Amino acid sequence: MSGSKIWISTAQVANRMLILARTTPIEQVKRKTDGLSLFYTATDRSRVEIRAIPKMGRHAVDSNMLFIDNLEVPADDLIGAEGDGFRQILHGFNPERILIAAEAVGLGRAALRKATQYAKDRVVFDRPIGQNQGIQHPLAVCWMNLEAANLMVMQAATLYDAQQDCGAQANAAKYLAAEAAFSACQTAMMTLGGMGYSREYHVERYLRESFIPRIAPVSPHMILNFIAEKVLGLPKSY
Ligand SMILES: Cc1cc2nc3c(=O)[nH]c(=O)nc-3n(C[C@H](O)[C@H](O)[C@H](O)COP(=O)(O)OP(=O)(O)OC[C@H]3O[C@@H](n4cnc5c(N)ncnc54)[C@H](O)[C@@H]3O)c2cc1C
């Protein structure tokens, strides 16, 4: 097996990796997504070069570029039926979106908590800055957006748990939660003024981290494409 892939999490420490590989040539399949198989195989470092990517946040896990050169994968490492790998990998997409969305809601709530506390504590010209509606209103909007996003997360999770179709809700939850989290982190930064830029209050770190649920595992633009085409039935843009 040979190929390359960027942005692979935890490859510095992983003993095994999940690989989706073409096992039937593309000319011999009806749809491009047919003929792919899923393997769970050893990360043989003599055949897999792993290069860490320097990045702006998410330092709890490493992110990497992988270059796979003639890696031999035992047939026993196949997961499920041969040629059916794409369908199997799709199965994991919705729960991953729901999980990331829930994480984003938590991140946004943490930023909002810090900002609200700071607005109560910080006194300028003898009054807390949180007494100004110019400070209050953006925080109130963040709360509403986060809680609304959380309801979509819960709806998606409920459908998933009931083994019902949840693609639209899982994607919508990921989009809404990530945007709400980003907005809450940005609002927190501005609420703290100069101290938002200092590491002491952590909100600069939250803001950096809020880009991950926006970008990965799927970008906001691709979610909008999905909702427009699959949910609203609009013509494909490509
Ligand atoms: C820290 C981090 C960890 C990650 N971890 C993993 C991981 O463990 N495993 C993994 O597989 N991936 C991982 N990713 C990859 C991540 O899922 C992708 O970066 C993400 O899906 C965006 O794809 P891309 O980088 O190829 O962007 P591109 O496809 O190059 O797109 C660039 C920009 O153009 C926009 N764009 C592209 N096409 C269209 C279109 N048709 N319409 C409108 N806009 C468009 C995109 O939305 C995006 O904003 C990780 C990424 C990061 C940053």
pLDDT computed for residue 148 by the predictor: 98
Mean pLDDT along residues 22-33? 95
pLDDT computed for residue 1 by the predictor: 94
* Tens of pLDDT, residues 108-166: 999 999 999 999 999 999 999 999 999 999 999 999 999 999 999 999 999 999 999 99
Cis status of the peptide bond prior to 25, with omega within 30 of 0: no
Is a pLDDT exceeding 80 seen at residue 11? yes
pLDDT computed for residue 237 by the predictor: 81
Find the helix packing angle between 203-215 and 167-191, rounded to 10°.
160
Say if ligand 1 is within 6 A of residue 226 CB: no
**Separation of alpha carbons 105 and 177, rounded Å:** 6
Pocket-testing residue among 4, 6, 7, ligand 1, by greatest number of atoms within 8 A of Cβ: 7
Instruction: Locate the ligand 1 atom nearest the alpha carbon of residue 218 and give its number.
Output: 21
Say if ligand 1 is within 6 A of residue 63 CB: yes
pLDDT computed for residue 234 by the predictor: 98
* Tens of pLDDT, residues 170-186: 999 999 999 999 999 99
In sequence order, which residues have a C-beta less than 8 Å from that of residue 134 and are 6 or more positions away?
none
* Three-state secondary-structure class, residue 168: helix
Which of left, alpha, beta for 208 (phi over 0: left; psi -120 to 50: alpha)?
alpha
Do 120 and 112 touch, CB atoms closer than 8 A? no
Instruction: Pull the structure tokens for residue 225.
Output: 């494409």
Say if ligand 1 is within 6 A of residue 215 CB: yes
Instruction: Locate the ligand 1 atom nearest the alpha carbon of residue 222 and give its number.
Output: 47
What secondary structure letter does DSSP report for 234? Answer: P
Instruction: Pull the structure tokens for residue 49.
Output: 């070069």
Pocket-testing residue among 12, 96, 219, ligand 1, by greatest number of atoms within 8 A of Cβ: 219
Pocket-testing residue among 56, 215, 223, 234, ligand 1, by greatest number of atoms within 8 A of Cβ: 215
Is a pLDDT exceeding 90 seen at residue 91? no
- Show the beta-strand stretches assigned E in the chain: 3-9, 16-22, 36-42, 48-52, 63-68, 78-79, 123-124, 127-128
Ligand 1 center–CA 132 separation, angstroms: 39
Q: Measuring CA to CA, which residue among 167, 232, 208 is closest to residue 55?
A: 208
Instruction: Locate the ligand 1 atom nearest the alpha carbon of residue 10 and give its number.
Output: 8
What secondary structure letter does DSSP report for 72? Answer: -
**Separation of alpha carbons 122 and 110, rounded Å:** 18
Say if ligand 1 is within 6 A of residue 158 CB: no
* Three-state secondary-structure class, residue 4: strand
Percent of the chain past pLDDT 70, that is, above it, reads 100
